[in-house]
Structure formats: C-alpha cells, structure tokens
Amino acid sequence: MRRLALTLLLPALALLPLAVALGGCDLGGDDDQGTTSAQAAPAPAAQRPSPGISRAELRQHLAALQHIADLGGGNRAAGTPGYDQSADYVAARLEDAGWRVTRQEVPFTYFALNDASLEVGRRELERGRDFQVLSYSASGRAAGPLHELGLGCEAGDFDALESGEIPLVERGECFSRVKARNAEQAGASALVIEEPVTSDRGVPSGTLAAPGIEIPVVVVSTDALGADPAGRRAALTVDATSEKGRTQNVIAETPGGSDDHVVMAGGHLDSVYGGPGIDDNGSGVATLIEAAEAIGTKPPGARVRFGFWAAEELGLLGSRRYVDSLDKADRKRIDAYINLDMVGSPNPVPEVYGDGDPDLAKVLRSAYHGRLGDADVSGASDHTFFQLAGIPVNGLYTGSSEAARGGEARDPCYHLACDTIDNVDMPMLLRMARTTAGALETLSGRRK
C-alpha cells in the first residue's frame, strides 16, 4: 500500500478527495484466535474454517515470497528479478489450483538507484537507516545550509529561500511531488523532506510516482537531523536512472461459473524497493492463493477472477492498466471487486473500506463473524480505478502506520526492510483469508 503523503496519484485520481494518510509469527495449530488490537472487538468463539485454508499453508506462501526477496537483494519491486519470480510463483500456484492463468503486460518507468550519499552537519548519514531517496528522484549534487520552510505545499512557502540554500520541509498535507515541484520552481538544487521517525527501524521507502522532477529528493529521519537542523550544512549526491520498461499483472479465473457475471478480488504483488513487502502485500497475495484453493474451480454462481497487480507502489499502474483494458461490457459484468492490501499487520485493527460499497461491507462483516471497523483508504490502493469505473468495491485492511494498541503503529515495519515474514500476525491473516473466501463464495452464489 502506498502512503499518500509521500506519493502523487495519477491524473485520473484528481477527481478523488485526498485520503487521510494511511500509507511475531506462530506456527501453532490452525485456530484463528489471534492477536487483535484493543480497538477491535474480541475474536468470536468460532469461525467456520474454509476448506484448504490453514495457517501453515499461508505461511508457506509468505516464506516463498521472503525467499524470493532474499535472493533478489531484499525486495520484490516492479521491474526486478524478485518481482518476476513472485509472478511466476503466483501463476504456478493458481494453475495448480485448476484456475485459468494469463499475464498482462504493464508499461512502466523503472527506477534504479545506483548510489546516494547525504551528510548533515559533517555527519555522514546511512541510507536506509537515516535517509531514503524517493523513487523517480533526479540525479544530482547539492551542498549548502538547510532552510526550514514548513510543509512546502504552496509555491509561496519557498519565497524565503536564498541562493545556495537547501530547502527542508515537513512530510504530509500534500504529495511529495508537489513539494518537489515547488522547490524546483523556486530554484532549489535539491529538496530534503523530514520524516518523523527514529533511525532504529529506518526510513520508509516512498515515490514521486513518475519521472519529471529535475532535482534530487531525499527523505531524512527526524532522529538523523537532530534538534534545530536549520542552518546546518548539508551535502547530498544522488546517482539514479529512470528507464522505460514492462512488467506484468497475473490474472486468474475459475474455469467454471456464469459467463454473464464476474466477482473479482485482487491485491498488489510488488514490494517497495526498501524491503521484501511480506505484510505489504505478501499477506494479500497469500490470502488470494488460499482463497482460490478454497473456492475451487466451480464457484456456486458467478465466475471468480483474481488480479495480482504490478507496480502498485509506483502509482497503481497494474490495476489501472487492467481496468483501462476492459470495454464497457466487460466492466458491466463485474459485480464486485474486493481488495486485499495489508491484511496481516503485527498490531492489527481489522477493518473494511468505510468509503467502499456498503453492501459489500455487509458481506465481508458477515463472513468475518466479528467486529470490523471502517477504514478511509480513498485512493491509496488498487480498488481505486475499479471504483472510478463504476464497479462496486470494498476490501479488508489491518493497518500500516496508524497508531493502535499501546500507541504503537499497526505495522511498525511499513515500507521498511523489517517487513519480513516475522512481521506478520498469522492468526489474523488466517481470519482474513477465511473471510475473503467466504465472502467471495457468497457473492458468487448470488448469481446462480
């Protein structure tokens, strides 16, 4: 899932209001009584297991994605071998389940960071721990005193910037691309964005969503900047390239079911460049694989179709490509789309999309057999273009950087290297997977 405060949605999303910023494993038995947040109601006494869904099998899928990331330099980002191998793994699992699998090419711009350095107050900072380069940052060098300028969301915020100074702005309120464009137009040679995190876990990855910014843009932790950073000399270097390329969506559907109606679910397959992405969004991927096995090849009514989307972390590119490829009749046949993005957070608050279709929310709540809160995810994930196309959407979500129990983030490893298999709440993931399968069976059965 993409953190809205650090990204720019594509032009079609300008019609949507800005969202409020979203963006230990147990190998015991297959019971679903797991850790939940104090904000969530206690787990009910029983939830009927869906055939073929177990904690052990979910963990096998997460372990496979973790292994792929480990072999691929620590991530499964779009355009990397780790992503391609993730797509191969998913396709093989769905074919094993008897589903029809196709690939859809997705044009995109690949971003490669070759090297970067940052020094603040004569202290050399460590990339990943202390700072990150935003995807699609330009290459370049800059040196000069830092000048604090607030949020940087308005061009006027940079009026006080003097020649040779490097603007330092706060994260949030508007997209990082807006801040970068304002800095560039004000004549800045680089932009530094302060991220309110400590350096113990690192700085989350982020993106400018597309090429076009001509100055280097970095995000630095508050911890690394220290107190009163204004006036301190900074020096940064970024060596990066952006090149045209192609990646792939993986689409799978049941061979059985009505040709006149389709029930869809999906989740993004890629990770950020800064980590393996096992909760975000290996959890959704594992859920879909197990739901496919539980539903089988002959759903009770409507055909069931799953999408494993490419390049979500770069701007919802895969799901947008898919929806754009559908003609009017194809869109009309899709009765529902359920999104799975971050459904195994380690400090979870289970929720449905409060700004999604209310009827689909009822179906999900019924399948969960317990309390599900309401999340405002707006344009933060792959349901967005389905919603813009007039298709009813909803989804399941357990949280990213929002505070939950004990004031801790729902996922303290959101967009970080520590988003590993050990970052997933397995009992919660099991409940989400069973809920997904049950809800899709119900929705399919409505169209017998």
Q: Is 253 a catalytic residue?
A: no
Q: Are 152 and 158 in contact (CB under 8 A)?
A: yes
Which residue in 165, 312, 351, 402 is the catalytic one? 312
Torsions phi, psi for 161 (to 5 deg): -70, 130
Which residues participate in catalysis according to the annotation?
312
